[in-house]
Chains A and B, each alone.
Chain A
């Protein structure tokens, strides 16, 4: 239910399989309904009434035939068959030879015919009624205690014949028809009635179960996509002119992380709890559905106008912000909601759904946990995103990514001690686009692994030249996304590349604090791989994530990098100073090297050196990220500019 897919081809097959399953379920529901109607029709008949006429009437829409005949064996075995009932009275009484196909049907086979037919001759009486053995036909057996027979259904010449699905229905019908046959052959007995009643009950029960499976999501009990679409389509037809309704697309924020960190079982329980919470906050006559993994839809019908929807949606959003208690866990959730109003934003389900979906994405991108109504500008932005996705996929397929490097500086010696590797996309004109332009989208599209591989290729190609210029004692930091950092298979692949350089000990894997949210998975499954390879761990953007400091106990990091937001104008902001000193102390006390990121001015540098024990720094003051060939070519200038930077006396003792 929450499974990921490695490719769109696999996603395509999942969708097709689910569609087939739903389709099959819906057909079974429809078929069962017809069969129940036929049985009920039989049960209500008088004892002397002809049972087949009502059965024919009920079955006609299901199996679509122009003529129906019931043929029964005459007394002697291997004798011909006689028509005892037919949709057209002129056919009753006709005698039929026991042809091979008729023998098979009487013997228990359900058969659909194909051209050019069997070549068998039909009784002249039948031919005179306008029937032909070339007509598409369906033969199904009838059974009784002492008589055998068959039901023959015919379609007009030139029409489509019966298919495998019809044969499946016919097998069920054969059972029903046999009962009708038995009813005709014997006096109607209480026992026969009871048997028919039992059959009806079983069919009804099966039909209810099938209907539930076909229409409702098994996890939450809410209407599923297909059933919800039916409800909306019906509502659009039934609304009076001038009346409005609204469709809300509710998408849980960050649900994938819940599944990744806590497992699918917790994810499922959260979804069930969310469904309950949503039900509690909507009106009784509104319809809530679940249409996919973490997506719900809400039909608000009727509404006075768009403004009247806002209080309901606000209630829903506020409700979702209350903590969810799933076992021992207290989980916080939020949702982004997109709204489309009928008929302003669409007069059919498909358009309403699409526009509400676009509005939801707009709400999500602007600030999670909010709602947004559909507007034309959103449609334009969505088209733009679709184009961006296409371009990003093409860039990945063409390998248009490069590594750029930003030097890490020893603040005491102003020497280059390492480089952080950053990903850049290569534009059509050769320009390098920043990671901020594509990393998030790449994460959404599942392209980060491929981009990481391309960037690693680029880095490892440049490494010999970089070492020749700056020495092979420099450390090389590589960024890894949260989802990658807690995937041992993925990390193993990355580490294999680093081991291949012969110097894995010079590499540092940078993860953000969010990776520590699932500290157990990182500590138990990934950290041993890193230790085994000799690769160090750095916590990036330290101070900005959701992880509690207690997680630091579980995951010993070799390095922490204090986020730039605390370093910017630290010399002027008392609160930042407190935080920077505190983070620096925490890092040092736990035995980690501490790096200050985003150092851009001499004043910031001066503060860090004179008021903290932070040993290392990174930022535009020292050098911007640049391709390796650029850093190599400008080595002399870089070292000279570093040497020119003032090194004020340090008040605190530097760490090792």
Chain B
């Protein structure tokens, strides 16, 4: 039996109205699914959503959580109060999910959660086709490490870090046991129609680069996310020099957020090369620390070479289409054989494209053709670069399901 995918989005003012709307839409849909993705704007009431999912999709494995400024789908950009569902119908496949608070040892938690997710799919001990993860920002590297203890790089790990609208920390995750504030949700997928994926950034090196010579103490974003010096000079000053002195003077003087100012000019580390062409793992500097270091949303290692990168609004808009096309081509089927998909688009990129955000959804829709999809806007992205599973920033991923 062929795989079928359905997308549902509601943008009613209240959560109660939104779930009632979704309920009505689902009544016209195609039966109980085998896997569900759920994303929603921060304004929504998780408990109401959880109650709706338990009633409407009892026992269905699911992953999801909050998304910055709502969701996008084949219906377009949903808006800040949108709530979206993507349902996968695949009776010949196998799916499972599990969730847990990250706790003190995120790696151990991730490893155990994956094992429980496999068990929930009745696939204990089996290598999945793909792992889809959604988590709280801050410990993504540890989560990836825990998942890799089980699967290594033998299957792709794709996903995102749940987000809110203004980095105020009100992000949440939604799993089969309900909502969490600081947790990880792991989905394991064995689709019978196959699955393809893409994971790309939309930035190019400027030519500036230097070596991370010192890392600072954890600023609260996680280990390895405080670059203290580059080439033995204060990291913020070096970075500001690369940008022609355009970082906010106040932040340079006293420390402070620079998230918005650096969305078009992040850093990156090399993630391998093919035919002499280097591939990059993007790192988003989000603040200057009082020690004139850079606090980042992804970890770097001491001794790593960081590169200055530059983005372009046009590329960030059109890139999502290319990522979807890459995912489709990795599935080795024609466009007509794609059942649907899921997209993760960095909230930082969303900020960078500004008023062109609707074009992002349109571009994705064009690449998906008639197939339904759901997209979330995240504060970190997980995926595979050159067959290595990792966490990065300002990336775009797409997973497509074959029929």
Which residues of A does B touch, CB under 8 Å? 6-13, 15-17, 19-20, 100-101, 111-119, 160-164, 167, 390, 393-394, 397-398
Which of B70-78, B273-281, B292-300, B346-354 lies at the interface? B273-281
Establish whether residues B322 and A162, one from each chain, have CB atoms under 8 Å apart when the complex forms.
no
Establish whether residues B202 and A9, one from each chain, have CB atoms under 8 Å apart when the complex forms.
yes
Q: Can you list 22 A-B pairs, Cβ within 8 angstroms, ordered by A? A: A6-B315, A7-B204, A8-B205, A9-B202, A12-B277, A13-B326, A15-B274, A15-B275, A15-B277, A16-B277, A19-B275, A100-B122, A114-B127, A114-B150, A114-B151, A115-B150, A160-B152, A161-B127, A161-B154, A394-B207, A397-B206, A398-B244
Establish whether residues B129 and A164, one from each chain, have CB atoms under 8 Å apart when the complex forms.
yes
Establish whether residues A17 and B326, one from each chain, have CB atoms under 8 Å apart when the complex forms.
yes
Establish whether residues B315 and A9, one from each chain, have CB atoms under 8 Å apart when the complex forms.
yes
In the complex, chain B residues 109-128 whose Cβ is within 8 Å of any chain A Cβ? 115, 118, 122, 124-127
For the complex, count residues of B whose C-beta is within 8 A of A: 38
Chain B residues closer than 8 Å to A111, beta-carbon distance = 126-127
Q: Is B14's beta carbon under 8 Å from chain A?
A: no
Chain B residues closer than 8 Å to A100, beta-carbon distance = 122, 124
Chain B residues closer than 8 Å to A394, beta-carbon distance = 206-207
Chain A residues closer than 8 Å to B206, beta-carbon distance = 393-394, 397
Q: Assess A16 versus B207: contact at CB under 8 Å? Given A111-B127, A116-B125.
A: no
Closest CB in chain B relative to A119 CB, distance in Å: 7
Q: Assess A11 versus B277: contact at CB under 8 Å? Given A390-B207, A393-B207.
A: yes
Whose C-beta in chain B lies nearest to the C-beta of A23?
A: B274
As a 0/1 sequence over residues 175 to 218 of chain B, the CB contacts with chain A under 8 angstroms (1 = contact) are: 00000000000000000000000001111111100000000000
Q: Is B26's beta carbon under 8 Å from chain A?
A: no
Per a CB cutoff under 8 Å, which of A10, A19, A115, A118 touches B274? Answer: A19
Establish whether residues B126 and A9, one from each chain, have CB atoms under 8 Å apart when the complex forms.
no
Q: Assess A164 versus B125: contact at CB under 8 Å? Given A7-B312, A10-B322, A12-B277.
A: no
Which residues of B does A touch, CB under 8 Å? 115, 118, 122, 124-127, 129, 149-155, 200-207, 244, 274-275, 277, 279, 310, 312, 314-315, 319, 322, 326, 329-330, 386
Chain A residues closer than 8 Å to B279, beta-carbon distance = 12, 16
Closest CB in chain A relative to B136 CB, distance in Å: 25
Per a CB cutoff under 8 Å, which of B151, B153, B315 touches A7? Answer: B315
Closest CB in chain B relative to A583 CB, distance in Å: 42
Interchain CA distance A20-B153 in the complex, whole Å: 16
Closest CB in chain A relative to B330 CB, distance in Å: 8
Q: Assess A164 versus B127: contact at CB under 8 Å? Given A9-B202, A393-B207, A397-B206.
A: yes
* Given A8-B205, A118-B125, 15 further pairs, Cβ under 8 A: A9-B202, A11-B277, A12-B277, A13-B322, A13-B326, A15-B274, A15-B277, A17-B329, A101-B126, A113-B127, A114-B118, A114-B126, A114-B151, A114-B154, A161-B127
Interchain CA distance A627-B150 in the complex, whole Å: 66
Interchain CA distance A12-B274 in the complex, whole Å: 9
Whose C-beta in chain B lies nearest to the C-beta of A394?
A: B207
Q: Assess A9 versus B207: contact at CB under 8 Å? Given A15-B274, A119-B125.
A: no
Chain A residues closer than 8 Å to B149, beta-carbon distance = 115
Q: Assess A117 versus B315: contact at CB under 8 Å? Given A12-B277, A397-B206.
A: no
Q: Assess A116 versus B115: contact at CB under 8 Å? Given A162-B154, A164-B155, A398-B244.
A: yes
Chain A residues closer than 8 Å to B129, beta-carbon distance = 164
Establish whether residues A112 and B274, one from each chain, have CB atoms under 8 Å apart when the complex forms.
no
Interchain CA distance A163-B244 in the complex, whole Å: 46
Chain B residues closer than 8 Å to A167, beta-carbon distance = 127
Establish whether residues A112 and B126, one from each chain, have CB atoms under 8 Å apart when the complex forms.
yes
Interchain CA distance A390-B330 in the complex, whole Å: 34
Chain B residues closer than 8 Å to A101, beta-carbon distance = 125-126
Residue picked from A115, A119, A394, most chain B C-beta under 10 Å: A115
Chain B residues closer than 8 Å to A163, beta-carbon distance = 127, 152-155
Closest CB in chain B relative to A168 CB, distance in Å: 10
Chain A residues closer than 8 Å to B207, beta-carbon distance = 390, 393-394
Residue picked from A16, A161, A167, A390, most chain B C-beta under 10 Å: A16
Closest CB in chain B relative to A346 CB, distance in Å: 16
Interchain CA distance A6-B319 in the complex, whole Å: 12
Chain B residues closer than 8 Å to A12, beta-carbon distance = 277, 279
Chain A residues closer than 8 Å to B312, beta-carbon distance = 7
Interchain CA distance A19-B273 in the complex, whole Å: 11
Chain A residues closer than 8 Å to B124, beta-carbon distance = 100, 118-119
Per a CB cutoff under 8 Å, which of A10, A113, A390 touches B125? Answer: A113
Interchain CA distance A117-B127 in the complex, whole Å: 10
Closest CB in chain A relative to B259 CB, distance in Å: 22
Establish whether residues B275 and A13, one from each chain, have CB atoms under 8 Å apart when the complex forms.
no
Pairs A-B, 8 closest by C-beta atoms: A118-B125, A163-B154, A112-B127, A117-B125, A19-B274, A114-B127, A113-B125, A390-B207
Interchain CA distance A9-B151 in the complex, whole Å: 29
Q: Assess A397 versus B310: contact at CB under 8 Å? Given A7-B204, A111-B127.
A: yes
Interchain CA distance A216-B314 in the complex, whole Å: 36
Per a CB cutoff under 8 Å, which of A16, A113, A398 touches B126? Answer: A113
Establish whether residues A112 and B154, one from each chain, have CB atoms under 8 Å apart when the complex forms.
yes
Interchain CA distance A13-B322 in the complex, whole Å: 9
Chain A residues closer than 8 Å to B326, beta-carbon distance = 13, 17
Closest CB in chain B relative to A14 CB, distance in Å: 10
Closest CB in chain B relative to A171 CB, distance in Å: 11
Closest CB in chain A relative to B385 CB, distance in Å: 9
Interchain CA distance A608-B329 in the complex, whole Å: 65
Chain B residues closer than 8 Å to A161, beta-carbon distance = 127, 152, 154
Closest CB in chain B relative to A445 CB, distance in Å: 12
Interchain CA distance A10-B277 in the complex, whole Å: 12
Chain B residues closer than 8 Å to A13, beta-carbon distance = 200, 322, 326
Interchain CA distance A100-B200 in the complex, whole Å: 38
Interchain CA distance A8-B125 in the complex, whole Å: 41
Closest CB in chain A relative to B340 CB, distance in Å: 21
Chain A residues closer than 8 Å to B201, beta-carbon distance = 9
Q: Assess A16 versus B127: contact at CB under 8 Å? Given A112-B154, A160-B152.
A: no
Chain A residues closer than 8 Å to B154, beta-carbon distance = 112, 114, 160-164
Chain B residues closer than 8 Å to A164, beta-carbon distance = 127, 129, 154-155
Closest CB in chain B relative to A418 CB, distance in Å: 34
Closest CB in chain A relative to B107 CB, distance in Å: 14
Closest CB in chain A relative to B74 CB, distance in Å: 24
Per a CB cutoff under 8 Å, which of B204, B329, B330, B386 touches A8? Answer: B204
Interchain CA distance A111-B206 in the complex, whole Å: 45
Establish whether residues A114 and B315, one from each chain, have CB atoms under 8 Å apart when the complex forms.
no
Chain A residues closer than 8 Å to B151, beta-carbon distance = 114
Establish whether residues A16 and B204, one from each chain, have CB atoms under 8 Å apart when the complex forms.
no
Closest CB in chain B relative to A453 CB, distance in Å: 13
Closest CB in chain A relative to B6 CB, distance in Å: 26
Per a CB cutoff under 8 Å, which of B118, B122, B155, B203 touches A9? Answer: B203
Interchain CA distance A161-B312 in the complex, whole Å: 41
Q: Assess A162 versus B204: contact at CB under 8 Å? Given A16-B279, A19-B275.
A: no
Interchain CA distance A105-B203 in the complex, whole Å: 44
Whose C-beta in chain B lies nearest to the C-beta of A166?
A: B154
Chain B residues closer than 8 Å to A113, beta-carbon distance = 125-127
Whose C-beta in chain B lies nearest to the C-beta of A354?
A: B276
Whose C-beta in chain A lies nearest to the C-beta of B207?
A: A390
Whose C-beta in chain B lies nearest to the C-beta of A350?
A: B276
Chain B residues closer than 8 Å to A390, beta-carbon distance = 207
Interchain CA distance A426-B141 in the complex, whole Å: 44
Whose C-beta in chain A lies nearest to the C-beta of B190?
A: A109
Closest CB in chain A relative to B306 CB, distance in Å: 17
Whose C-beta in chain A lies nearest to the C-beta of B387?
A: A163
Chain A residues closer than 8 Å to B386, beta-carbon distance = 16
Whose C-beta in chain B lies nearest to the C-beta of A24?
A: B332
Chain B residues closer than 8 Å to A398, beta-carbon distance = 244
Whose C-beta in chain A lies nearest to the C-beta of B206?
A: A397
Chain B residues closer than 8 Å to A9, beta-carbon distance = 200-204, 315, 319
Closest CB in chain B relative to A54 CB, distance in Å: 28
Interchain CA distance A117-B152 in the complex, whole Å: 14
Interchain CA distance A113-B115 in the complex, whole Å: 12
